[in-house]
Amino acid sequence: MIGALMAGWLFCAPAAQAAGDAQEFIDDLNSVEMPESPLEAPPDAATAAERTERLQTNLRCPVCQGLSVSDSPADAARAMGDRIEELVLEGYTEEQVTRYFVDRYGEWVELEPPREDHQALFWAPVVALVLGAGGIALFGRRRRDPDTGPREYTPDPELAPWRDRILAELDGGT
Amino acid sequence: MNWKVLAAGLAITAPLVAVLAAGFGRDPKLRSNALEGTQAPMFDLRTLDGEPFSLEEARGKPTVVNFWSTWCQPCKIEHPVLMQAARSYTPLGVHFVAVLYQDDAAKARAYLQRSGSHWPTLDDPGGRTAIAYGVAGVPETFFIDANGTIVRKVSGPVSQEVMVETLEQML
pLDDT digits (tens, 9 = 90+) for A56-112: 999 999 888 889 999 999 999 999 999 999 999 999 999 999 999 999 999 889 998
Q: Which of B38, B143, B54 is nearest to A32 (CA)?
A: B54
Is ipTM over 0.95? no
What is A55-86 written as a DSSP string? HHHHBBPTTSSS-BTTT---HHHHHHHHHHHH
Minimum Cα–Cα distance from B105: chain A residue: A1
* Rounded CA separation B168/B161 (Å): 11
**How confident is the prediction for chain B on average, in pLDDT?**
90
- Yes or no, beta carbons of A105 and B134 under 8 Å apart: yes
Strand, helix or coil at B16? helix
pLDDT given at position B68: 97
Answer positive or negative: Cα dihedral of B66, B68, B74, B76: positive
* Rounded CA separation B141/B119 (Å): 14
Q: Nearest 5°: CA angle at B157, between B151 and B160?
A: 75
- Yes or no, beta carbons of B123 and A1 under 8 Å apart: yes
For the cut 70, the answer to whether the pLDDT of residue A22 exceeds it is no
For the cut 70, the answer to whether the pLDDT of residue A117 exceeds it is no
Lowest mean pLDDT among A51-60, A131-140, B123-132: A131-140
C-alpha distance from A137 to closest chain B C-alpha (Å): 16
- Yes or no, beta carbons of A32 and B42 under 8 Å apart: yes
Residues of A in contact with B155 (CB under 8 A): none
Residues of A in contact with B35 (CB under 8 A): 103-104
For the cut 60, the answer to whether the pLDDT of residue A11 exceeds it is no
pLDDT given at position A122: 64
Minimum Cα–Cα distance from B48: chain A residue: A1
C-alpha distance from A14 to closest chain B C-alpha (Å): 23
Residue contacts between A and B (CB atoms, under 8 Å):
106
**How confident is the prediction for chain A on average, in pLDDT?**
78
**Model-level pTM?**
0.70
Q: Which residue did the predictor score with more confidence, B11 or A43?
A: A43
Q: Which residue did the predictor score with more confidence, A46 or B27?
A: A46
| Cβ-proximal residues to A53 (8 Å cutoff; 6+ apart), any chain | A70
